[in-house]
Amino acid sequence: MTVITRFAPSPTGLLHLGNIRTALINWLYARTHNGKFILRIDDTDQERSKDEYISKIKYDLEWLGIDYDDTFNQSSRFERYREQFEKLKADGRIYPCYETPEELERKRKLQMASGGKQVYDRTSLSLTDEEKRGYEDDGRKPHWRFLLQTERLKWNDLLKGELDIDLTSLSDPVLFREDGVPLYTFSSAVDDIDYNITNVIRGDDHTSNTAVQIEIINAIDKNRITFAHHALLKASSGDKLSKRDNVISIDSFRKSNLEPLAILSLLATIGTSQSIELKDSLNQIISEFKLETISTSPGRIEIDVLNALNKKQVQKLNFDDVSERLKNIDEKIDEKFWNTIRSNLETVEGVKQWSDIVFDSKLIEAEDKEYIKSAMELIPDDPWDENTWELWTTAIKEKTGRKGKELFLPLREAFTGMSHGPEMKLLIQLIGREKILERVKT
Ligand code: GLU
């Protein structure tokens, strides 16, 4: 049997690290089992779903290298959901309910006050045809609930082990709204059947949904899906991640020029028993993936860790890997430049700061004027090479008697305007004699 997994985001916001982690796990599970990975867009709620987010979701996945074998939007399947709805209705598994939200809220408060279970009391289940007609004549339209029949639902969760959910503590779920729109619990179950999904891997906030969905699936067909629920990632503060939390969206990471491989390396290992480290490639991530190493306690996102992984990745990139990107930043950046600068960068795009320093003709006002003046009197002739810096600074040392930081730091500041950066012996070769003479104002 071919393994088929899916990632099913609702296009109501940007994908964040937690969402993408679920996508990655499903993708890795499919890829390591020679299976298929489907992208399903959960857009039945047309008011909240936005095309803009659908495009962003697809772009995020593509940018990260998470490819899918098939994709569809739930909004294209309303007819199919209606068909399955009619089937459940004919089987007596769904029933119309006429309570208004206010009435339901009142019931819930009463249950709370009397200390009882806060579950729907099934009043509408016993309505006579006449009573139903009465409601309809009053202009009320029904919403539809699924009649849960199992008391306890058990399954062997690939991550959490044996689970045993008490369905009597849950309300009969609403599957169709008054306006005929199916709700997630139902459309997801129908799609998982129709697309022959073999493995549903998702956050453990869905555990009780799973119990309900297994019962719905069994009412329509027969459940063949193996479920796995992973712990959700948390923010470093310990808070839940939210779609409104744009700082950790993939979109914002892309805008801050983080490398896809750094993000994927973090997501493949965070919240697992594997150590967090930079991977060489997506292939390495695939070959090291093991579902069972995913922990059932939540991993916390530390942005510093992500930045450190990114820095490592930038330093590993060869000129050929980035030459196209560098062209867009500054055409003058060549291989020698890149190799000199990359160890100082947090992001590839950070190279711009250094190309400005090396190629721009800005004047730098030296602080230590007298000292810089005497140093400039000793400036070696062209051509400059590997040894130029050593020769020059030895001569300065002899003349001024300075050494260490006192000798080097004012020179670095006068030539680059920065107090740190790549090795000066390399950097001055990039800047060149002419530009240094032009630049230094004493
Ligand atoms: N649209 C649902 C969500 O984003 C999908 C959950 C699932 O079935 O995987 O939570």
- What's the CA-to-centroid distance between 105 and ligand 1, angstroms? 26
Residue 243: what pLDDT? 65
On whether the CB atoms of residues 28 and 67 are closer than 8 A, the answer is no
Mean pLDDT of 42-58: 96
- Flag whether pLDDT at 119 surpasses 80: yes
- pLDDT at residue 257 in the model: 94
The verdict on the CB of residue 8 being under 6 Å from ligand 1 is yes
Residue nearest to atom 10 of ligand 1 (CA): 9
Q: Is 276 helix (H, G, I), strand (E, B) or coil?
A: coil
The pLDDT of residue 248: 83
177 or 244: which carries more pLDDT confidence?
Answer: 177
* pLDDT tens, position by position, 222-263: 999 999 999 999 988 888 887 666 678 899 999 999 999 999
Ligand 1 in contact with 9 (CB < 6 A)?
Answer: yes
**Residue 365 pLDDT:** 77
Query: Ligand 1 within 6 A of 26 CB?
Result: no
User: Is the model more confident about 248 or about 172?
Assistant: 172
Please give the pLDDT value at position 245: 67
Mutate-to-test residue for ligand 1 from 184, 195, 201, highest number of ligand atoms within 8 A of CB: 184
**Average per-residue pLDDT in the chain?**
94
CA of 10 to the centre of ligand 1 (A): 7
| CA 185 to ligand 1 centroid distance, Å | 9
Residue of 185, 206, 229, 241 to test ligand 1 pocket, by largest number of atoms within 8 Å of CB: 206
Which residue has the CA at smallest separation from atom 6 of ligand 1? 8
Tell me how far the alpha carbon of residue 9 lies from the centroid of ligand 1, in angstroms: 6
CA distance 376 to 379: 5
Q: Which domains does the chain have, with CATH numbers?
A: 4-74+185-233 (3.40.50.620), 80-176 (3.90.800.10), 246-315 (1.10.1160.10), 317-359 (no CATH), 364-441 (1.10.10.350)
Tell me how far the alpha carbon of residue 205 lies from the centroid of ligand 1, in angstroms: 10
Interval between CA 40 and ligand 1 midpoint (Å): 9
pLDDT above 90 covers a percentage of the chain that reads 89
Model confidence at 439, pLDDT cuts 50, 70, 90, reads confident
Choose one of 202, 204, 230, 241 to mutate for the ligand 1 pocket test, by most ligand atoms within 8 angstroms of C-beta: 202
**Centroid of ligand 1 to alpha carbon of 44 (angstroms):** 12
Examine the pLDDT at 134 and tell me if it is beyond 70: yes
Residue of 9, 22, 18, 25 lying closest to 59 (CA atoms): 9
Strands in 36-41's sheet, in edge-to-edge order, are 4-7, 36-41, 70-73
Does residue 42 have its Cβ closer than 6 Å to ligand 1?
yes
Cα–Cα distance for residue pair 3/196, rounded to 1 Å: 9
User: E strand or H helix at 145, and its extent?
Assistant: strand 143-146
Residue nearest to atom 7 of ligand 1 (CA): 8
User: Residues 268-292: what's their mean pLDDT?
Assistant: 95
Higher pLDDT, 248 or 403: 403
- Angle, CA of 187, 193 and 194, to the nearest 5°: 85
Q: What is the pLDDT of residues 3-35, one digit of tens each?
A: 999 999 999 999 999 999 999 999 999 999 999
**Which residue, among 168, 188, 184, has the nearest Cα to 176 in the 3D structure?**
184
pLDDT confidence bin for 47, thresholds 50/70/90: very high
Residue showing tokens 């939390």: 245
Nearest atom of ligand 1 to the alpha carbon of 7:
9
Confidence of residue 142 (pLDDT cuts 50, 70, 90): very high
- The first and second tokens of residue 189, run together, are 């179950």
pLDDT at position 244: 65
Give the whole-angstrom CA distance, residue 267 versus residue 242. Answer: 17
Distance separating alpha carbons of residues 190 and 21, to the nearest angstrom: 24
Bin 53: left if φ > 0, else alpha if -120 < ψ < 50, else beta.
alpha
| Model confidence at 324: pLDDT above 70 | yes
Q: Is the dihedral of CA 355, 361, 367, 373 positive or negative?
A: positive
User: What pLDDT does residue 209 have?
Assistant: 95
SS3 278: coil
Residue 442 scores a pLDDT above 70: no
Given this model, what pLDDT does residue 364 score?
77
What is the pLDDT averaged over residues 280-290?
Answer: 97
Residue located nearest, by CA, to atom 5 of ligand 1: 8
